Every structure is written in structure tokens, then in C-alpha cells.
Amino acid sequence: MRKLLIYTCLLLFYTTTFAFGQGLPMTVPEEVGVSAERLERIRPVMQNYVDDGRIPGFLTVVARRGKIVHFETIGMRDVEENKSVEPNTIFRIYSMSKPITSVAVMMLYEEGHFQLGTPVSQFIPEFENMKVYNEDQTEILDAEKEVTIKHLLMHTAGLTYGWGDKPVDERYKELKIFETGSTLADMVKKLGDIPLVHEPGERWTYGVSVDVLGYLVEVVAGMPFEEFLQTRLFGPLGMVDTAFSVPSEKVDRFAALYRPNKENGLERVENAPLANDEVSFFPSGGGGLVSTAADYMRFCQMLLNGGELDGVRILGRKTVELMRYPHHDDWFGLGFAVVTDKEPPNILESVGNFSWGGAAATTFWIDPEEKLIGLLMTQLLSNPYPFHQQFKVLTYQALTE
């Protein structure tokens, strides 16, 4: 029985490695302290969502000690066109772009271009003399503090997304922060004219902070943000499919986007770009990238390794430690959510885990204690289902040593 299990795992290794391209190497789960038999519990749980018509498809990956021990595709990347999820399917990762941009910022920090407490206005004059709303947004005041680079990394700058119905949200909508055809420079000019929702450093507010960091990278590095990511991060790490665009020769691999409908099923997001020609997105450091499982696993493994992968060092070990330290309210670091012993895990995971997710229900986590990475890719907006938590529990219950 054990020989059969090893043979099956090796067969999976050879077939999936070929399809997985430049991803991490694979191994028999037992070689790194994981039960292959218990990993088999993942598929039926995920399959149930697809069979019920609630999710178009999944791609799930688990790696331990630098080796892939679980890699599965389930369901469709395009339901209407009957195209299956494949190992090289390209997904919109939305806010999983944020950790990538944060790494780019910390690369420049390591080079001595700025300190974390440096006011952003030293590089982006539009952030000088910012205004701020009072608590109920009935009055606009002069901000008492400067927005710093660390504020942007921690989402405490007072920037938002404009998703609500308050006066500040109306300003965001009116100025069309991410207008098609505009640039990062256009974006920050507009943001400089909108009051902050609170004083910098006062509290955590999710918003366009990391998009501003993308422009900061552009200004400091003296090159387009997209070029910096490609030459300094994606190219060296072998992330061959991660970008703000999908070229025409790769569009067939690009997953369609869905959302739940009222009948507890799926509806396709018809205005989401998907065509025969190249698809391009605004170079949003906070949410504009597309990627594959292979690419994002390499990015995660670099972080788990303390900033290095396959002989290529992106960040220093202490820099990665600083990023995954809980800087704000004992839960948010410099680009990631962090599990701390102040708020112990309520599901199977470790203190010290750092993670984030995207609007289309993509997610990842990195566990330094167990040397473990989990990655789930799908394309579902407004996700109401608990499959993230289920996938995490199904992963941890398979650890044997």
C-alpha cells in the first residue's frame, strides 16, 4: 500500500511539474512530514462547492519546507466556454498585489533611499499640507501630522477606497481615482485634493495607500512602477506570468470572473476584461496584478526563506522579519495580516502566520513555524462562503511532524 501511495505521488509529481512550469519542486508529502492520505480530504470539500454551482473552480496548493505536497485543480476557469482550471491558469489577484508592492518599497528602503518615518511629501509634493475631515465629516481641517511611508504600509494614513456614502466617498467617486487611461501621477494629484478620513496614524483604514506606494517606487527608482517590478522582482524570481496585463498569446489561460447571484448560484461579471486581444489594467499597486499559482508560490517561498529563493536575494532576513512583525494593533504588519498570541488562532494555524487575500477570493498564508505555505486561487467577487477557513484546517490537519 505504501509503495502504491509513493508511486501515485511520484506520478503526480511528474505530470504536475510539467504543467506547473517554473513553480516550486514537488515531493511525496511524507518526505516533509505531511500525510498524503489526509491531504486527500481537501478535494471533496472544494469539489462540493463546484458541484453545487456556487464556485466556478479552484486551484489549491500546499508547500512545506520548500516542496509542493498538494496541487489540485477543480472545476472551470470559464464556465460558459467549458474551459477547465489548469495549473497555468492566470487569475486576477487584486489585493494580493499589496504584499508585492510592499516588498518593492522595502527593497528601496534597504538601499537607503528613505526611512519608514520619512514623510511621503519628500517624494510626492501633492501630499504636502494635507487636509483632514473631522469625525463626522462636517468640517475640513488642516492635518496636524504628515503622512509617512510607514503609515502607507500599515493602512493608517487616512486614505480610503471611496466605497461608502460619506462626503469623502463622494469625492473619490467624483474624481475617478483609477480612471481608465490615467497614470499613477494622475492618481496622486487627485488624492492630494481629497481630505484624509482621519489624522495619519490614528487608526487602520483600508484604502489606496499601497497604490500611492506604487507611485513612490516609480519616483524613487526613476522608472515606471511596472518596469521596476519586472526588472527587480518578477524577472529575478522567475515570475513569468505576473503583470498588470495579459498578452494576447496568454489570454486563453485567463480565468473569467464571477459573483454569487440571488439564486445561490453564479453569474458572470460581464464587464470584466476577457477577450482575444491583450488585456491591460491600471498599474495599481494595491490591486491591479494578475498572476498564476506557480508565480505566487515562488513569491511566498522567497518570503518564507527570509528574502531569498534559488540563490536570488530580494530582501534581507531582518527586513522580512520587520515586515511580518505586528506593527499596528497587534495584527497588521508592513503589507500583511499577522497572527499574534494576543489574538490566538481560532482555527488550525500558528502564531506568526502572515497572509492576505484578494477581492476575487484568492488567498495565501505563510507559516514560518511550520515552514508551510497555503495558496488558493479562484475568481469569485463578494464571496459568502467559508472555503478559505476550510482549506486552512484541511491543510493543518494533514501535518504529521
For the chain, domain boundaries: 2-82+245-280+339-396, 100-221
Contact 310, 327 (CB under 8 A): no
Contact 194, 173 (CB under 8 A): no
Residue-level pLDDT, tens digit, the chain, 401 residues:
554 554 455 455 444 444 445 689 999 999 999 999 999 999 999 999 999 999 999 999 999 999 999 999 999 999 999 999 999 999 999 999 999 999 999 999 999 999 999 999 999 999 999 999 999 999 999 999 999 999 999 999 999 999 999 999 999 999 999 888 899 999 999 999 999 999 999 999 999 999 999 999 999 999 999 999 999 999 999 999 999 999 999 999 999 999 999 876 899 998 765 555 678 899 999 999 999 999 999 999 999 999 999 999 999 999 999 999 999 888 999 999 999 988 777 889 999 999 999 999 999 999 999 999 999 999 999 999 999 999 999 999 999 99
Which distant-in-sequence residues (6+ apart) come within 8 Å of 381 by Cβ? 257, 258, 259, 269, 359, 360, 361
Model's pTM, two decimal places? Answer: 0.94
Q: In the beta sheet, which residues pair with residue 62?
A: 70, 374
Q: What is the CATH number of domain 2-82+245-280+339-396?
A: 3.40.710.10
Architecture of domain 100-221: 3-Layer(aba) Sandwich (3.40)
Do 2-82+245-280+339-396 and 100-221 have matching folds? yes
